[in-house]
Amino acid sequence: MKNEHTSNGIGWALGLLIFAIGVMNLLWVHPVPTSICILISLVYFPPIASLLKQKIGLSIPLPVKIILAIVIIWFTLGVSDLGDMIDDL
């Protein structure tokens, strides 16, 4: 039971982080990265993840979600225009 709470907490935290990256992309860069980030962030939220598991049978393991979040953050801060915008602040 404790593992499930930890997984839910990590899912909410990563989902909100990636959703925030999407909103920052919308405000400062371009709508295309926004749509991608927001769609990916939906996979992290526990209610939507359980809905995907029930309806489609798709379940993404927590380590894969963590690696995907690291790649998104790395790409956002290192390669995209958003990283340059943050550096200029």
66 — pLDDT class (breaks 50, 70, 90): confident
Q: Kindly report, residue by residue over 13-33, the tens digit of the pLDDT.
A: 888 988 888 888 788 777 777
| pLDDT for residue 84 is more than 80 | no
Q: Is 30 helix (H, G, I), strand (E, B) or coil?
A: coil
Q: State the residue for tokens 């993840």.
A: 49
Domain count across the chain = 1
Containing domain of residue 47, as a range? 2-88
